Chain A
Amino acid sequence: MKCSARFIALVAAVFAAGFTALVVRLYQVQVVEVGESLQDFGAQSTRIVQTPGNRGRILDRKGRVLAGERIRRDLVCHLEAIRPASRANAVRATEREIGRATNLIDVPNRVTAERIARHLKRESAMPLTVHEGLDEMRFARIEERHDEFPAFSTEVCAVRDYPFGTLAAHVIGHVGRERPSAETGDQKIHYFDKETTGRAGLEAYYNRYLTGVSGETKVRVNARGFAVDSEVLRAPVDGLDLVTTLDAEWQHALERELAGVTGAGVVLDARTGAVRAMASSPTFDPNRYQAGQPEFNKAVSGTYAPGSTFKPITALAALENGWNPNTVLSCEGAYMKTKCTARWGHGPLILREAIRESCNPFFLQLGVAAGGDAVLEMARRFGLGTKTGVDLNGEAPGNLEPWSFQSAMGQGPLLVTPLQMAVVAAALGNGGRVLKPFLHASPQPPGPACTLDVKPENLALVRQGMKDVLDAGSARKAFHPLVGGKRRRLAVDAGGKTGSAEKSSGAGRYKNTWFIVFAPFDDPEIAMAMVVEHGEFGGTTVAPRVYNVLKRFFGETEDVRK
């Protein structure tokens, strides 16, 4: 026979070699290199989606919500549910479907063909948001006709909400949406919701705590890039609530008095340094935040010459350096070309009277007598010239240097913030403890940053002078208003100081008017500072506003004295 058994054996050997080659190769692909295959396949068919947790709320000290989350319903389109005749028609078919849906709920169709094409290319595993913020009617309309619009659904998302609108806008701040800054873990994040991020105020300062921890969801995608199913790898953790020291009532009262003027005000708890209220005017509504709105917080970032509100510091510095409180100086109406508030002069004065009358020549001489270094040292002890350390970003340190003789009456190169002056008022009221103001109502408030370390009798004398300011001095009218023919006053005693700092700018000279106060006089609960730009005079512009704030909480009585 031609076809020999040997040849058949040869063919069998070839077959055996072929099968062996296949098995070896399969072993290599399926067993040896299996990790690579699984990894490559995983990379091609899975996407990681980052899902942010709910942002924590910001509460006032009585639990009222100053910033919270509101539910918003969005209309989204699941592109994979639209089955075009061919892939080339996908964009057109999707555009048509979205047009139909937006017609149904009667909203403008803002989804362009380019956006659909881009979405198909880059984010096909995620639904495409067609319309943000459906109202109840539209929500019901699209939901009840779901059968006709299988590619559409509504998704719930949380948006930042400020129930009180403008209230404490500068302190709370506002949020923006941006891509998460850092990727968590070593897994590659393919998609993420834009995260709500604090851009200013407490929202920014405590952003880390408010934000929470993003979760991760694994989405399996098919060859066209559409999501097939998903699995939550890690659930998002909601952010922490922030309980603040703010008091919505104080805040409201303060803002009402600042409405219509440009200025700022701070109310501190004079015992702890807790910020009860802080306002900057004009204000804005963080619910409708847009760039260019007045988000500059003048209460912590605005610097002004303190004017006469600085005089208690000069007085204290002089007393500590041995100034006899009974020393009489004479006011002739001006000193070294600096005029006094009383045009013809106050005549002979002692220190307590000079505080009451806010006599410029007296304090200029007092400053010279005490010496610049001593006054500035005292100002430093009050915390001026450095940041108070309040838990807000963008705080200004103000300025003390260099000494000029006008610094003694709060002019010259001196610059302070309203918050710093509130701290000064608190220190004068509470017996010399310079507090660190704070907004986060932590269980353990920070103790006094330092003490003034002054002789009690010196402080008492200055305090007496500040009480006189309200009872008989520059703020007497403001604190004893005439209502219906009867004079009224606060139900408690208080000490304060007016200030009117002259400022020259390109437009001419104007005054930033001040008032600082602590109340009640003997054991102050509240210290407050307020500045109004372009005011007339501290006693007439600012003191009445401060009086209105204080009377709401301490009450008013008839003035029984003459």
Chain B
Amino acid sequence: MKKLLRLNVPMLLAMLALCVVGVVFVRSAGSSRASLILQNAWRAHAFTAAFGLGVYFACACVDYRKLLYWTALPFFGVALVLLVAVLLFGSEIYGGKRWLWFFQPSEVAKLAVVFLLARFLPRAGGGARGLAAGLAAVAVPAALILAEPDLGTALVLVPTGVAMLLAARICRKILVPLLVAGFVAGGAVVGAVWCAEHASTPERQAKIYRNIPLKPHQIKRIKVFVAPESDPYASGWNLRQALLSIGSGSMHGKGVGKGDVKFLGYLPPSVSMNDFIFAVLAEETGFVGTCGTLALFAVLVFSALWIAFRSEDERGRLLALGVAVLAFTHVYINVAMSVGLMPITGLPLPFVSAGKTFLVVIMAALGVVQSVNIHKGEEEQCWKNS
């Protein structure tokens, strides 16, 4: 218990504050719904947060090196099994097989990948083999998640994995060009869609779309991002309503629980509590609230980076860095898609969106980061002989 005195306090407080924000806005988003389950979702969110807090402290108390040494590989293996299982036995909701009984394996896999990379990268060689192994550790779960299909979750693994590979200096000679190629390809797809939307004839437009190697619904999302006004009542609806919701929040917001867009049902119930909960928050608390919330996230991720910086252990650094990037990527993509800076991808806003699995996972991950902070002065034991 003495260990807990060495916690990084700002990170803990920011997290607790974000949990409270989550409970408040899950309640607000659910309040206008007829369904009793949605109305009471905030209770479930609060209980999950309390449970997650227990996990958080447990993870903080355990020496992260022991944790990595003993669990990283089995954890990754279990995650892969679960990802396969969800494809076979998962229940289908909103056109994707993402749920196994009561949780989402893909959320668990995010942490498993971070663990595995933190466990093995320090010992991997700097050559192409190390890079291949590292990329495989990211690509295999990502491919399984993509098969669900859940593009957002699969994509979020990429920056996390890449950041950790770069940090571990794994074959930067190949990795950096690969990254550049990836950016160019992504830009090319978005550019192609933009060209198609501004094409002179429908034939040319169709021709361009035929040549983009993506599924129609994915192209549609990029299209909404590129030209949101092209179809405001169908595919662009959520983005348009999210922007109206955020915009009408103005400087100070309409007051918690008083958001009209959500209340009148323009932001559909299926998204207002999950991927677009930031829009509800923005409408009800305004620019002040959104900046405040982003500030809490900033405290969180910069604290994690600070812990990474202060850690004198390679694995500790990688672990804290990986979790920080994971959390930041979620926040950035979620908020950016809500304000139209990025194509719509279904990613939760950490602590705020009403996703129970991810809430526990991200709290566990931050617990492990706290563990890095707590155990930074101690001598390592697991890898002493190896």
A223 CB-CB contact with B under 8 Å: yes
Interface size on B, residues (CB 8 A): 49
Q: Label chain B's interface by main secondary structure.
A: helix
Closest to A34 in B: B250
A46 to chain B, nearest CB (A): 10
**Given contacts A11-B324, A15-B301, A41 and B244 within 8 Å (CB-CB):** yes
A553 CB-CB contact with B under 8 Å: no
A27 to B251, CA, bound (A): 9
**Given contacts A34-B248, A37-B243, A223-B264, A2 and B302 within 8 Å (CB-CB):** no
Q: Are A11 and B247 in contact (CB under 8 A)?
A: no
Select A8's contact among B248, B261, B309, beta carbons within 8 Å.
B309
B315 to chain A, nearest CB (A): 9
Q: Are A36 and B302 in contact (CB under 8 A)?
A: no
Select B265's contact among A19, A38, A223, beta carbons within 8 Å.
A223
Kindly supply a per-residue 1/0 record for chain B positions 291-334, scoring 1 wherever the CB is within 8 Å of any chain A CB and 0 otherwise: 10010011001100100110010100110010011001000100
B266 CB-CB contact with A under 8 Å: yes
**Given contacts A2-B122, A3-B321, A7-B167, A41 and B286 within 8 Å (CB-CB):** no
A468 to chain B, nearest CB (A): 85
B246 CB-CB contact with A under 8 Å: yes
Report chain A residues within 8 Å CB of B344: none
Q: Are B264 and A26 in contact (CB under 8 A)?
A: no
Report chain B residues within 8 Å CB of A7: 166-167
A8 to B340, CA, bound (A): 29
A249 to chain B, nearest CB (A): 60
Report chain B residues within 8 Å CB of A2: 122, 167-169, 314
Interface members, chain A 205-227 (any B CB < 8 Å): 220-224
B194 CB-CB contact with A under 8 Å: no
Q: Are A8 and B321 in contact (CB under 8 A)?
A: yes
Interface size on A, residues (CB 8 A): 36
Report chain B residues within 8 Å CB of A30: 246-247, 249-251, 282, 286-287, 290
Select B291's contact among A26, A33, A221, beta carbons within 8 Å.
A26
Report chain B residues within 8 Å CB of A12: 302, 305
A548 CB-CB contact with B under 8 Å: no
A5 CB-CB contact with B under 8 Å: yes
B260 CB-CB contact with A under 8 Å: yes
Q: Are A40 and B244 in contact (CB under 8 A)?
A: yes
Interface members, chain A 95-130 (any B CB < 8 Å): none
Q: Are B305 and A15 in contact (CB under 8 A)?
A: yes
Q: Are B266 and A26 in contact (CB under 8 A)?
A: no
Q: Footprint of A on B, CB under 8 Å?
A: 122, 163, 166-169, 243-251, 260-261, 263-266, 268, 282, 286-287, 290-291, 294, 297-298, 301-302, 305, 308-309, 312, 314, 317-318, 321, 324-325, 328, 332, 335-336, 339-341
Q: Footprint of B on A, CB under 8 Å?
A: 1-3, 5, 7-9, 11-12, 15, 18-19, 21-23, 25-27, 29-31, 33-34, 36-38, 40-41, 44-45, 220-224, 228
Of the A-B pairs whose beta carbons lie under 8 Å apart in the complex, a sample of 9, sorted by A's number, is A3-B317, A18-B328, A21-B341, A22-B294, A22-B339, A26-B339, A36-B247, A40-B244, A228-B264
Other than A3-B168, A7-B167, give 6 A-B pairs with Cβ distance below 8 A: A2-B122, A3-B318, A25-B340, A30-B250, A30-B287, A223-B265
